[in-house]
Amino acid sequence: MPEEPTEQEPLDHTGTTINRVEGDSGTTLQARDVHGNVNFGAHSDTDVEIVLLPEQPEVVVEPGGECTSVPVTVKSHLAEPVTVTLSLRGAPTSQWAVEPSEVTVLPGKRARARLRLPCTATEPSAGPKHLHVVARHRDGNRTWRSESGIDVSVRAEPGLAVAPDVTPAVLKGGEQTVTVTVRNTGNTHLLGALKRWTTSGNDAGYLPRDGVALPPAGASFELPPGEAADLLAGVTLPPPELTEKKWCLPIAAWLKGAEDPCVVPELTVTQPGWLSEIPGYVNRLAAWGRVKHGPYRRATLAVSGLAVFLGGLLFGASVFSSQPAGDAAAAAAPPSSQPAAASPVPPRFAPVPREPMACTPGTTVVYLASMTKGEADEYAAYFVQREYSRMNDLKPVKLHYPIHVTDRAGLCPGLRQKLDRSPSMADYSTFVWIGVPTSEGADICQKLDRRQTFDCLAVPLT
């Protein structure tokens, strides 16, 4: 009698194939092991073939150049005509698309389309892109994808524009704060700072290096393509001359990854001369005593006053021109024994008191300005004065609200948590704001004539 096996013999898995079948709807069927030389498979869905036909293996597009296009063919192996919509996958901008977006393909025939890849100076960003074309049946039940995509490379073309904003135009010498706008005009991410630089002796028309004040580490900026930032700089001008004078600011842009700074010769401010005041001065003299005095006496007063005025200008100009360039800037500052003249903009280093935010339910906090620690240390007074000036220009007067300054730690807990969750607000430490009733908060930014979420952000307190 044969012996019974004590252990079960292992199964022979030779020729085993895992059965994996995918239907048109995407359902996957997974079977158990199948023994023997039997194979199960599913026919790939090639009823509609999509082929991209670039002239080169890699398509290179130039920023700001002519629109690049790539031919596309769509062939149908179905027995009936089929209408499909074509879309582009992997596109970095909505401007990149397939045209036409819908084609009808006859059995065994090909329909033609094109990829349109326009490229401006700032969009899309530089770098490689991988694109595919997808066709979807009009009824939406079936889709087809191009068998192979194409690689598109957007050539890097960095660009930076720097310009000052001086309002009003400077008439008298002395210190003032100007806004310098930096704008990313290229298609790369820019990280850098504005810093002072020392001009050579041959650079005529430049202010001395000490005539510009910037934070010790420079006024830093980080700009995606197409974005801009406003930075503050202190400028000290000498007394005005007889005629208009254009000063170049000794400010350069240091960009991360660049070996040399980018000097901006067009970064200038214009200082009107004293002669520009003469027409207004003559008109005021001629109009003085218009009723009491006759034409002859008015003319005599005007000519006499003008002569004294011009004599003083000529004397002052001769004294100023006899000073070296370095001493001329120093002459603009008042003596230490005399109080400095009042300025519409507070000194850049003037302390600004902070206060905790009043977290009163039923009110809305309106953010007017956000400052980094460096900006708050050096320019807080300017930010507050700027908001007061804007508020004073509003009409009607009933829209005027007290302006508050609060450090991050003094914000309401709910608002501070929202800021902590926002990576873009991580560097801001000090905030300028007003409080309004919630009933007025919905359209307060429109009333203040500001762009929502840019320099006016209303947040209700609950």
- The span from the CA of 419 to the CA of 415, in Å, is 6
Helix (H) or strand (E) run with residue 416 in it:
helix 413-420
- The span from the CA of 93 to the CA of 316, in Å, is 61
One domain for residues 199 and 185: yes
- pLDDT at residue 329, rounded to an integer: 38
- The span from the CA of 232 to the CA of 377, in Å, is 12
- The span from the CA of 452 to the CA of 444, in Å, is 10
211, 68, 74: which is closest to 133 by C-alpha?
74
Task: Give Cα 261 distance to the centre of its chain.
Answer: 21
- The span from the CA of 320 to the CA of 332, in Å, is 10
30, 25, 24, 28: which is closest to 43 by C-alpha?
24
Neighbours of 212 (CB within 10 A): 23
One domain for residues 182 and 145: no
SS3 105: strand
Q: What is the pLDDT along the chain (462 residues), one digit of tens a residue?
A: 444 444 444 444 444 444 444 444 344 444 445 455 544 443 446 789 999 999 888 899 988 888 899 999 999 998 899 999 999 999 988 899 999 999 999 998 999 999 999 998 889 998 999 999 999 998 878 899 988 889 999 998 888 888 887 766 665 677 888 889 999 999 999 999 998 887 765 566 888 888 888 887 778 999 999 999 999 888 888 887 777 888 888 888 888 887 778 888 778 888 877 776 666 655 655 555 554 445 555 555 555 555 555 555 555 545 444 444 444 333 333 333 333 333 333 444 456 788 999 888 888 888 888 888 877 776 677 677 777 777 766 655 456 678 889 999 999 988 888 888 877 778 888 988 888 888 887 778 777 766 544 467 788 887
- The span from the CA of 380 to the CA of 174, in Å, is 20
- pLDDT at residue 20, rounded to an integer: 43
- pLDDT at residue 406, rounded to an integer: 92
One domain for residues 136 and 199: no
Contact 147, 51 (CB under 8 A): yes
- Residue 46: phi, psi to the nearest 5? -115, 30
Tokens of 115: 């990829």
One domain for residues 207 and 256: yes
- Residue 317: phi, psi to the nearest 5? -65, -40
* 99 within some domain: yes
Q: What does each C-alpha distance from 15 to 19, 234, 321, 449 come to in angstroms?
A: 12, 82, 101, 77
One domain for residues 230 and 265: yes
* 340 within some domain: no
Cα-trace Rg, the chain: 36
One domain for residues 76 and 125: yes
One domain for residues 267 and 327: no
Tokens of 231: 């930075």
The bridge status of strand 48-52 relative to strand 174-184 is unpaired
Contact 346, 382 (CB under 8 A): yes
CATH number at residue 214: 2.60.40.10
- Pick the last residue of a domain from 93, 126, 154: 154
- Pick the last residue of a domain from 119, 154, 189: 154
Domain range for 122 is 48-154
* 11 within some domain: no
The contacts of residue 286 (CB under 8 Å, 6+ apart) are 298, 299, 301, 302
* 310 within some domain: yes
* 109 within some domain: yes
One domain for residues 126 and 205: no
The contacts of residue 167 (CB under 8 Å, 6+ apart) are none
Helix (H) or strand (E) run with residue 16 in it:
none
* 6 within some domain: no
CATH number at residue 421: 3.30.70
276, 303, 300, 298: which is closest to 287 by C-alpha?
298
- Using CB atoms within 10 A of its CB, is residue 253 exposed (0-12), middle (13-18) or buried (19+)? buried
Give the count of domains, the chain: 4
One domain for residues 144 and 74: yes
Q: In the Cβ-directed half-sphere of 426, how many Cα atoms lie within 13 Å?
A: 4
Question: Tokens 């087809």 sit at which residue?
Answer: 144
One domain for residues 171 and 268: yes
- pLDDT at residue 171, rounded to an integer: 57
Question: Tokens 């393509």 sit at which residue?
Answer: 225
- Pick the last residue of a domain from 131, 154, 177: 154
* 403 within some domain: yes
One domain for residues 282 and 242: no
Contact 207, 248 (CB under 8 A): yes
- pLDDT at residue 96, rounded to an integer: 93
354-382: string of b/e by CB count within 10 Å (b at 16+)?
A: eeebeeeeebbbbbbbbbeebbbebbbbb
SS3 92: coil
Contact 207, 232 (CB under 8 A): no
DSSP letter (8 states) at residue 379: H
Kindly give the residue spans of alpha helices, DSSP state H, lying in 219-294. Answer: 278-287
Residue 127: left if φ>0, alpha if ψ -120 to 50, beta else—which one?
Answer: left
* 211 within some domain: yes
One domain for residues 148 and 209: no
- pLDDT at residue 284, rounded to an integer: 58
- pLDDT at residue 300, rounded to an integer: 54
End-to-end CA distance of the chain: 91
- Using CB atoms within 10 A of its CB, is residue 135 exposed (0-12), middle (13-18) or buried (19+)? buried
